[in-house]
Chain A
């Protein structure tokens, strides 16, 4: 097991190297000059040129990359062009917020998704199943930003459709994170429902496949109750593909909640990234993408390790 983890960690090195090269070269392809941005619109050509020199932007690309990589390895991702603060510091403060949003959203997604998927599978081809799958299809197709705006309209501004009177206790706060639970409900629902839909569909198809297996018939022939058949014999076998999806969802929440964080004005990684892109704050963009990639790799590693506990046939070594 330890050997496997070490090997997997070593395997992440080329992945991260690739990401860093990609992120770094992307900066050269995007129009706009960071020195110009820093110096401001009205700065003279001389000022901009001095700044370029100071930032090392005139050096050849590979020198810049080498410099970037060596400091990155020492935990230094450079300084933000905008705020002047170390990128690492910027990321750290935002990371915890995003992690919290991601954890709650994942819990919600797993909770709803698993239950809906299991019910759907157990009652397959009934009205219940069809209804759940139609709702899941909606959840899957609905863009996050639209759902987010809708939820703000309904539950933060109190404009429910069809002139339904708005019950005060449902009033949520439309922005921010962490001061009160009323701020956290809407973003978590926005992110969690989409994930729940994917998990529900995956759970259903995986459960249906497992329920058809011979060992499920064996369990029934032993005199085991239907509940135990489903939860003890079927679910554990059906979870493997579901765990993969859960991992991907969680990784996605960590890195890709850009729109949701923007809509709800949450100061997380997603917003940091989007603001950095808008302001051409290249070191921050590079830093966030790199960190998000690293998180994704770690989450996937955790998923792979969890397989071992779900399926004894998997030999990690």
Chain B
């Protein structure tokens, strides 16, 4: 392990869903680490398995979902092997989660105070009155004006941004060590998005927790994350710190993703989309999952699945691409999205 303490280590996670059309491997070999106090972004398109990864960590999968393998080490303990009761003590207490849809994520029949208070009552074993008092403090912390009044209100009386703040207050009520934020700003107005991200960052600095930021928005990654795991079709294809990812993206998919974004630092005539479509979960390619869309894919890429490997001596940078292995059978110089590259192998 590095000099830095990793609070969460996800190793080769595999999650499948039973459907009428057969089993779907939604998460297939996902690995990443979450250093203490840092923010890691999990970025990918819809259906890439990023939300399922986070639900698997907390073991909140729907009843047709199953974990087939891998481990989720939280402070050295494998969460996948804990009994349900021990897992409940972790949820909302040491690891908590906020969701994409603040409009529907709060129970409509209970007040804000009752819902935040419930978490506090369960985990801190305090009485109702004390819980409500602490809820008010939490509302204050997340910047909700007149919290004494808000605590008695029902979710429908609050705006979307307010509700997300309530969700954050609820998630942070028991000082968690990890906050999983599953697309926390996707459903909000742009102005509110910035406020919520700012709030999460600010609270992270004050409370010292780690954050797993799940998003499809590279802008959010750039603003908030220290490390990034890029996911494609249920796998992590690249993991690195945020600076090198933006400066020197390695995986062709990451490169394509960045190229399809507008940038203001260079002049672009038009944005270059990645050709093709995400493979259907029922018909995953045998080889590299990105191969059908990759401009430089070789026979090797189509036939054999690459592993997630370290690019240098530390495990701070990992990549799942044949180009970076000794087995690479293509040219030693390739052009990717208009950029010339020399291949290491």
A residues apposed to B, CB below 8 Å: 213-215, 217-225, 233, 236-237, 310-313
Contact = CB atoms under 8 A, between A and B. Distances in A.
B46 interface: no
Contacts of A223: 88-93, 119, 122-123
A218 B107 contact: yes
B122 A222 contact: yes
B49 to A, nearest CB: 17
Interface stretch (B34-42, B95-103, B334-342): B95-103
Nearest to A218: B105
In this complex, which of A214, A221, A312 has the most chain B Cβ atoms within 10 angstroms of its Cβ?
A221
Interface in B94-136: 96-97, 99, 101, 104-109, 118-119, 122-123
B107 A215 contact: yes
B90 A312 contact: no
12 contacts: A214-B99, A214-B105, A215-B104, A215-B106, A218-B107, A220-B91, A222-B118, A223-B89, A223-B90, A237-B107, A237-B108, A313-B108
Contacts of A218: 99, 105-107, 167, 170
A87 B55 CA distance: 66
Given A215-B107, A311-B109, 18 more contacts: A214-B99, A215-B104, A215-B106, A215-B108, A217-B99, A217-B105, A219-B107, A220-B91, A221-B97, A222-B91, A222-B118, A223-B93, A223-B119, A223-B122, A233-B107, A237-B109, A313-B154, A313-B156
Q: Which 6 A-B pairs have the closest CB atoms?
A: A222-B92, A223-B92, A223-B91, A214-B104, A215-B107, A312-B154
Interface string B260-298: 000000000000000000000000000000000000000
A312 B110 CA distance: 8
B122 A217 contact: no
In this complex, which of A215, A219, A222, A311 has the most chain B Cβ atoms within 10 angstroms of its Cβ?
A222
- Majority SS at the chain A contact face: helix
Nearest to B54: A221
Contacts of B154: 312-313
B58 interface: yes
B60 interface: yes
A316 to B, nearest CB: 15
Interface residues of B, number: 26
A214 B55 CA distance: 13
B106 A311 contact: no
A222 B88 CA distance: 8
A213 B109 CA distance: 13
A313 B107 CA distance: 11
Contacts of B106: 215, 218
A213 B170 contact: no
Contacts of A312: 108-109, 154, 156
Contacts of B118: 222, 224
Contacts of B91: 220-223
B60 A217 contact: yes
Contact of B119 (A214, A222, A225): A222
A218 B122 CA distance: 14
A120 to B, nearest CB: 14
B189 to A, nearest CB: 19
A237 B109 CA distance: 7
Interface string B198-218: 000000000000000000000
Contacts of B89: 223
Given A221-B96, A223-B90, A214 B109 contact: no
B105 A215 contact: yes
A237 to B, nearest CB: 6
B213 to A, nearest CB: 16
Contacts of B96: 221-222
Interface string B209-238: 000000000000000000000000000000
A214 B183 CA distance: 14
A313 B156 CA distance: 7
